[in-house]
Chains A and B, each alone.
Chain A
Amino acid sequence: MASYDYDLIVIGSGAGGNIAAQHVAKAGKRVAVVEMNQFGGSQITGGRVPLSTLLHAASIYDAAANGTKLGIRGTTLSYNYPTLKAWKDSVVKRTGIQNTEASFSKLGINFILGRAYFIDPHTISIGPARYSAREFLIATGSSTVVPSIPGLSQSGYLTSKDALSLTRPPKKLAILGGGPVSSEFTQLFSVFGTTIHIVEKGPSLLPKEEPEASTLIESTFEKAHGITTHLESTIEKIETISAGKKILIRHGGKQHTLVVNEILVATEKRAVTDIGLENAGVQYEDNHIYTSSTMETSVPHIYAAGSCTGSQNSTHMSAYQSQVAANNILHPKKTIAIDYRATPRAIFTNPELASVGSTQLELDQNGTSYKVAVVPLSVIARSNISDFNNGFIKVLASKKTDVLLGATVVGPQASEIIHELAVAIQNYVTAANMARTMHIFPSWSEIVRVACMKLALK
């Protein structure tokens, strides 16, 4: 029997990698984690955590600025962006990166800093050394794809990581792409007074969400923050001029120009696959590594988890995949399959947008018979108390069985409300059962009971 240096080598220390590493090490296996950049992965150091921290500060500033109606007045309401940035950095530091490193050493996990490259299915090369393992977990994550627009690289652009490190918000910003990342940066900078233009190829913002939700977010952006969205538009060229960056946009047959200070690239992300996958025999495409429902790649002893598998780019998804991979590595005869039925998604705009399960379009495409209920937030008492009525809930259930299939919430704390719907979808709860469950008065979650009642009566 061949002998290996480790039982498992994990490539990447983000959520997709470190959860599996800890599970497998706890079972007494020899584990090593290889990381190319900073420990903890991009979501902690340059993604979700810093962005959410800044968004939290922005929401406080926004609420204070709009408090006059309620009788709350501040004589000089202002912000200091460098202090905000320092606060964000301190939050990132205390997220638990150091603790994880310490727990790694307690569990006997070897942490190797360097770039891993497969030289055969059981060996990787890291700098001058080679390491072999019985099994591998690839959790390399994804990186931003910079679109090939003439003049973009010459004029300079910001990625989402760069935008989080700015010392002050730009005066005028053009955001390329209309996805979740673009919407969250729009929310952040618009609160601090940036004039924003969003350029999107498609016909709407947030194309993967329900059309009603996308339209509501788009109109809120326009009304509340004066944001201009250029839909179905492409950028022909970018030039550097003394006043900033001149962008030539084509919409239909017409051309118009836009002058901004900065350009933020928030388009698609692509899996990091340049790790010698060919030498290991792992099949992949440009934007993802092929995995089975057990998170196994085309090579039985190599697993993959996280956004490199082409799934939703979120920490909770990566962590879930990592857990499934860890279980299947430890118990090859009792494997479990991944279940994406109740995957929650959230976009932290104001109002928040959260969804779970299938969308109406997906059910139409699958040919599933369903019933739908859409209820505005204004019907519940909390909406009146908070003076907020610009949101809704959309719930989908099977026409035959009344079992919940999907839901979308747009409103305050939507990212919290969505969890009870996720539990319901995961456990095949019917709309009638949800409607019978008491919800606290006056809470935002009451809207779930009202919507399920409407759905059950259909």
Chain B
Amino acid sequence: MFHIKLHTNNKTNHSANWHDFFSNSKTDKRVITKTHTTAYHPQKLGDSIHKICMKSFGYSGEAETTAIHVCVEIEKWLKDKEEVTSNDIKRKAAEALQKYNPRAAYKYFPVKQLALQKDQYGFIRL
């Protein structure tokens, strides 16, 4: 009997560049969530940015590059801080993401400041 597997739990296959970047990025920063305090994982952030970019009509390569750029900007911002909230990371990531993928930025952190602006013809220009 044949079994057709419609959904897969396999993780996305990332490029070597992606693995190189995240294998070297270790930080000692702490992130405060609603329930507990945890260590900051750049790869976790990278995965979530990649996912949101893919959902916003993105291509895997482009999504990976964007996620890496965002992670670099977050690490720069975190440089002089030891402890931040998860909401701070989300907000800052969305601000960084707006440069590369405004649609994904609003999806990632839906606030008025990141809302997409319609032009005079009613189109959203990306």
Contact = CB atoms under 8 A, between A and B. Distances in A.
Residues of A in contact with B, size category: 10 to 19
Contacts of B5: none
Interface residues of B, number: 11
Contacts of A332: none
A119 B89 CA distance: 12
Nearest to B91: A278
Interface in B17-62: 32
Contacts of A130: 83
Contacts of A115: 80-81
A130 B82 CA distance: 11
Contacts of B80: 115
A65 to B, nearest CB: 46
B88 A278 contact: yes
A279 B87 contact: yes
A148 to B, nearest CB: 13
A276 B88 contact: yes
A278 B87 contact: yes
A144 interface: no
Interface in B68-98: 77, 80-85, 87-88, 91
> Which of B80, B81, B83, B88 is the most central at the interface, judged by chain A CB atoms within 10 Å of its CB?
B83
B83 A119 contact: yes
A439 B88 CA distance: 60
A276 B82 contact: no
Contacts of A253: none
A214 to B, nearest CB: 36
A127 B82 contact: yes
Contacts of A127: 82
B35 to A, nearest CB: 14
B4 to A, nearest CB: 47
Contacts of B82: 117, 125, 127-128
A12 to B, nearest CB: 15
B81 A117 contact: yes
Contacts of B88: 276, 278-279
Interface string A97-131: 00000000000000000010101000001011010
A32 to B, nearest CB: 17
A128 B85 CA distance: 14
Contacts of A278: 87-88, 91
Contacts of B32: 119
Contacts of A279: 85, 87-88
A301 to B, nearest CB: 19
A127 B84 CA distance: 11
Contacts of B84: 117, 119, 276
Contacts of A128: 82
Interface in A72-95: none
A177 to B, nearest CB: 26
6 A-B pairs with the lowest CB-CB distances in the bound complex, closest first: A125-B83, A279-B85, A127-B82, A115-B80, A117-B81, A119-B32
Interface of A: 115, 117, 119, 125, 127-128, 130, 274, 276, 278-279
Interface of B: 32, 77, 80-85, 87-88, 91
6 contacts: A115-B81, A119-B32, A119-B84, A125-B82, A125-B83, A128-B82
Given A119-B83, A279-B87, 8 more contacts: A115-B80, A117-B82, A117-B83, A125-B83, A274-B77, A276-B85, A276-B88, A279-B88
